[in-house]
Amino acid sequence: MTIRPFSPNDTDACARIFMAAYNQMPWNYRWEHDKAVKYLTEYAGAQNFTGLVAEDNGVVCGAMFGHIKTWWTNDQLFIDELFVDGTKQGRGIGKQIMAHCEAICKEKGIEMITLMTNKLMPAYEFYITNDYSKVDQYVFMFKEL
């Protein structure tokens, strides 16, 4: 397993993995390839983008898309997306991506990694077992139009 920086050449492979991960149980989303490419390209094109991909025998099998945010104490990394090929989940790939991400953050003096996840989905337990803490005082809000 190799973890390396994301390259724009990885976009198509990441879009396929993203779709494979989220278009299945328990999410059951309906991502189409063009929209997945556009979605990930928007993240990759953002200022302060940070991305990693996991390769297994030269084939991309997972990725992390995030961005560095300025905070009054020190910079933080906000993870926008973390996904692993659905057929390879549960093999420690996500954990390896996160460990690599943490090492990079420590090297760069980034003080904290933040993210948002759904507590009713398996990702919630993944983050809890990887020593992330939930913060009760923050609430994700939305309004459908």
Better-scored residue on pLDDT, 138 or 58: 58
The structure's pTM equals 0.87
Sorted by where each starts, the structural domains of the chain and their CATH numbers stand as 2-129 (3.40.630.30)
pLDDT, one tens digit per residue, over 43-102 is 999 999 999 999 999 999 999 999 999 999 999 999 999 999 988 888 989 999 999 999
Q: ω into residue 26 within 30 of 0, thus cis?
A: yes
